[in-house]
Structure 1
Amino acid sequence: MNMAQFGFENDIQSILKLDMPLTNAPMARWQRKASSSASSGLSPGKSANVPLSSSKTPSKTPGKSKKQTPSKMGGDRYIPTRNSKQMDVETQKAWSMCLNGFNLEDAKILHIGGKPLNAPEGYQNNLKVLYSQGATPASVKKTRYISSTPDRILDAPELRNDFYLNLLDWSSRNVLAVALHNSVYLLDAAQGDVTLLMTLEREEDYICSLSWTREGTYLAIGTSDCKIQLWDVYNQKRLRSMSSHTSRVVSLSWNDHVLSSGSRSGHIHHHDVRVADHHIATLSGHAQEVCGLQWSPDGRYLASGGNDNMVHVWPRVQEGPAGQAVHSWSEHQGAVKALAWCQWQPNILASGGGTSDRHIRIWNVNSGSCITSHDTQSQISSLVFAPNYKELVSAHGYAHNNVVIWKYPSLTRVAELNGHEDRVLSLILSPDCSTVATVAGDETIRLWKSFEMDPAKKAKEGMVKSTRSVISQSIR
């Protein structure tokens, strides 16, 4: 221990020697000049033969006959005179070299730009070097803007303010159908043109439900007089009228050539529209009005919701015993009108309850389990999945009368769309999935352009779809 202390004191003494006078250094320049002047006969008290007022630089330096190059050893080397402050800086550097192994001025712990500096070779330190660098613009996540005001507002006079009816549907050809009392109007969403398609013969009758075929050329219309009318829209011609129900037809859903309909009696009927005897099956799982009806995108399952607070999932007509539900869920405490299948996960079904329930529930049809449940604090009249941003949209009545966008599957609130002055009765998604249309008891239809895809992402999606179509054509 004493030897180590002795060695350390010797190192300190050697460092401190820098403050002592330099004894072995070459002669300073001013000393050499003084001796040179003395040898040339000029004394300090006499001036050289150079006029003080002359504006020209003398051709020769006084005291020198010719220019000399300093020699390497003991020549003309300049050593500055150091003051106390300079000595302190050099002492600190020496201490740093002795204690740390390198000069701290040469190693920055926090570096603003570029890569962090590496420590000198052989250097060890238990302290971690913290490195922070600002994110580049490319790495900053862009947040999309969701307008709080609708893109368009349309008047819907004589719209029936009935929670159980389904009075709005959007075709794959970008035509919006809306039922106003006993008439059906068509809105070309691209051109803005409005056309009257049909009007019921009796004034006391009214339209209860609408549903487009997948191709967007035919429209099914359910009425209060227990009938279903099938219309060729582009020829404005009624193709047929089908009767099988004993009460009003409030819900409709297509699966290829099979049209399923739900009525106030609680029965669901399957209709094969290609044949004269159209009524091919009856499902009797509900005790009250079947106000929600949706076929899954892959056509495997039919989901139904009723005023009896039940949700049923039915197999395709050709599968299983007639009238046998795959799943029956009774968790909702209110009428279930809102049903939506997930486009990118066909086994996922969302359902929403009425005023007494107010919950969104997400179901896994394969396992029959409820994945998640969320209390929206408001009556739910309609649900739809928005695939562009993997979101779920809900329409509400009492008490908020608004539309809410939720992130799926977390069901965290993304945005609220306010503006309707009465309960929102139905909500539907546009064919390009960029816009939702809502119809409310305030007799207005509002178009909300809330899901426009980023141009780069849209181009990428288009490339993927074109590749898939080429692959499918080659398989055929």
Structure 2
Amino acid sequence: MDLKTPGSGRTSYSRFESSIKKKLTARAPVASSPLVTRGQQLPTRSSAEEPRGRGACGAPRLLHAPAKAPALSLVASKLCVKKTDVRLAELKWRNTSRAAMRQKSVSRLLTIQKVGYSISESGGMKVCENTNCTWKECQKGTQDEFRAVTTTKFFIPLEPEVRLHVAGLRNDYYLNILDWNHENLLALALGSAAHIWNGRTLQGSECIDLNSSFKYISSLAWIKEGTCLAIGTSDGEVQLWDIETKKRLRNMFGHLSVVGALSWNHYILSSGSRLGSIHHHDVRVAQHHIGTLCQNKQGICSLKWSLTNRLLASGSSDGILNIWHSDPGVKVQSQPLKTIPHSSAVKAMNWCPWESKILATGGGMKDGILRVWDINHEKTIQCAATDSQICSLLWLPRTGELMTGQGLPGNQMIVWKYPTLISSSQLYGHKGRVLHVALSPDESRLFSVAADGTACVWKCH
């Protein structure tokens, strides 16, 4: 860059810079400032300020200036004369600051990820004590229960083995219309018909149709021994069908509303309705109705007998979980063994296959918490917040894990390590909430059905 000087031609910047240096070093520096600018800035006035005077040129100067001025070559070399240079210098500083901030942010992210991986790999329970944690519950102090063990491990979405379209599926959270039996038969209710597939080949074998335009199948459950399928209907009826002979064995009445849940205890079939009553049916005798339980005014949306058939768990739409003794001949006045309130509907529920007194429940839309209960002591072993409606739940005995079917925002299935309830994998294949999930008898495959009218088959790894 070249500059003009008065009375001469063009000169180089280096000569101009040298001239500036000489002029600056000839003046007394301002003791309070490392930078010397044109006009020589004065120090701030204080109560012990020295008297000021004027130089020959009228420029302000300090009296009693230091005898020896410090070297200013370094300062002068960095002095920006043109405004554009000043902007460039400021821009460089800002860019450096932004780069530092980005690096700091990445460092923090890597630190959080490292903590998350260490939790996943160790399999132990670790409570986050990082004050900079992004989890919103960390800043709220001690909670009544530990709502989540969060980890920033990134999941590789697993693809389903087979994807099916199912027509006529009711998008109803409170129904239980999918079951897979020990004979490898898969039953799914679509409207007024129950379709039966071969679980190995996924080839349709039978279809049980109510042949009705005003009622639908609201629940179904396979008996543990044989191929008898129990069907609950929207008008309060319970039917038994023998799939091998393709005949309806009997109709059982007693409910006055939708039968939303069914569960077998050998030859005792328990059914729950939306009026809050639970009936016990002995399917071997003519007078099948042998006992009644009245939970409350809200509807029964889940029923599960424990594997030892000694306890019956019932969940209702008003968030009440009741545990009942195995007494099929009970009367309406009987009281539950335990009552555990939830903040939302208890529809997703299942007993642990290898620990008889362990029960898992999933909260509805206002709750969204996966809980594992020790029924003996009526306390939670562990909890995990999903921030989503938990629509379905089952245990995976092969890996010792839990799986939940979720609603918005992900509409995915989440696999949880037990007992830590750390999420180990996620399965994405649906665009609607995963209403129902079932496990094959050999525990090698999963079948999921979602509100978007799709069904997926997954391999268990």
Range of TM-score over shorter length = 0.5 to 0.7
Q: Which residue of 1 aligns with 2:257?
A: 247
Within the candidate set 419, 422, 428, 1:412 is matched to: 422
Aligned 8 A contact 1:304 1:311 in 2: yes
Q: Which residue of 2 aligns with 1:329?
A: 340
Unaligned runs of 5+ in 1: 1-144, 452-476
TM-score by length of 1: 0.62
Q: Which residue of 2 aligns with 1:227?
A: 237
Q: Distance in 2 between matches of 1:286 and 1:381?
A: 22
SS of the residue 2:347 aligns to: strand
* 1:147-226 → structure 2 map (5 Å cutoff): 148-226=158-236
Q: Deviations over 1:165-221 (max 9, x none)?
A: 111100111110000100011110123320332111321211100100002410000
The residue type paired with residue 276 of structure 2 is G
SS of the residue 1:246 aligns to: coil
Q: Distance in 2 between matches of 1:429 and 1:286?
A: 31
Verify: 1:351 aligned to 2:349, yes or no: no
The change in CA–CA distance for 1:265 and 1:422 in structure 2 (over 3 A counts) is same
Greater relative CO (CA pairs within 8 A, separation 6+): 2
Q: Distance in 2 between matches of 1:216 and 1:364?
A: 32
The residue type paired with residue 259 of structure 2 is V
Q: Distance in 2 between matches of 1:305 and 1:349?
A: 12
The change in CA–CA distance for 1:407 and 1:283 in structure 2 (over 3 A counts) is same
Q: Distance in 2 between matches of 1:147 and 1:175?
A: 28
Could you tell me how far 1:433 is from its partner in structure 2? 1.3
The structure with the larger Rg is 1
Verify: 1:264 aligned to 2:258, yes or no: no
Q: Which residue of 1 aligns with 2:75?
A: none
Could you tell me how far 1:320 is from its partner in structure 2? 8.0
Aligned 8 A contact 2:199 2:440 in 1: no
Q: Deviations over 1:440-473 (max 9, x none)?
A: 111111111124xxxxxxxxxxxxxxxxxxxxxx
Verify: 1:385 aligned to 2:392, yes or no: no
Task: Choose 246-255 or 427-436, whichever is displaced more.
Answer: 427-436
Q: Which residue of 2 aligns with 1:432?
A: 442
The residue type paired with residue 337 of structure 1 is K
* 1:305-324 → structure 2 map (5 Å cutoff): 305-317=315-327, 323-324=334-335
Aligned 8 A contact 1:197 1:236 in 2: no
> How many residues in Structure 1 have an aligned counterpart in Structure 2?
306
The change in CA–CA distance for 1:179 and 1:320 in structure 2 (over 3 A counts) is closer
Q: Deviations over 1:367-397 (max 9, x none)?
A: 1222222111110011111011110000111
Q: Which residue of 1 aligns with 2:248?
A: 238
Q: Distance in 2 between matches of 1:318 and 1:355?
A: 33
Identity percentage of aligned residues: 44
Could you tell me how far 1:399 is from its partner in structure 2? 2.4
The change in CA–CA distance for 1:192 and 1:437 in structure 2 (over 3 A counts) is closer
Within the candidate set 289, 296, 299, 2:306 is matched to: 296
Q: Distance in 2 between matches of 1:436 and 1:216?
A: 21
Q: Distance in 2 between matches of 1:249 and 1:320?
A: 20
Could you tell me how far 1:291 is from its partner in structure 2? 0.5
The residue type paired with residue 327 of structure 1 is K
Could you tell me how far 1:319 is from its partner in structure 2? 8.8
Could you tell me how far 1:272 is from its partner in structure 2? 0.5
Q: CA RMSD in A?
A: 1.6
Q: Which residue of 2 aligns with 1:50?
A: none
Q: Distance in 1 between matches of 2:395 and 2:216?
A: 29
Q: Deviations over 1:41-80 (max 9, x none)?
A: xxxxxxxxxxxxxxxxxxxxxxxxxxxxxxxxxxxxxxxx
Unaligned runs of 5+ in 2: 1-154
Q: Distance in 2 between matches of 1:265 and 1:146?
A: 43
Q: Which residue of 2 aligns with 1:446?
A: 456
Q: Distance in 1 between matches of 2:450 and 2:312?
A: 26
TM-score by length of 2: 0.64
The residue type paired with residue 357 of structure 1 is D
